[in-house]
Structure 1
């Protein structure tokens, strides 16, 4: 089993949103992140910026924010 770390980049700063994400759903209005032992969390207006499969990291950011 492989879980991913989800990192939110906002205003040039990075914050870990989920340490062991088991599912990430992208919707029109944002991203929903699920883990095995916690309630799912929703990040409104977020988009996936990058996925690093080798290091198990997903980087997300708010729509309209510069990369």
Structure 2
């Protein structure tokens, strides 16, 4: 069966926009916002696997 014949299984743009624009996230540190967003997506049954925090430390390159 073609993927085009299957119903849309992801959240709508409105649902995702509401998660990222949630007023509860305003003023929170970045790590806590990520947790809030991950929890909101988990309630929809979606694994939030695109963190915006840099999980790999940046290495300074010396000349």
Greater percentage in helix: 2
RCO higher in structure (CA 8 A, sep ≥6)? 1
Q: Larger radius of gyration, structure 1 or 2?
A: 2
Q: Tell me the TM-score normalised to structure 2 length.
A: 0.24
TM-score by length of 1: 0.24
More strand, by proportion: 1
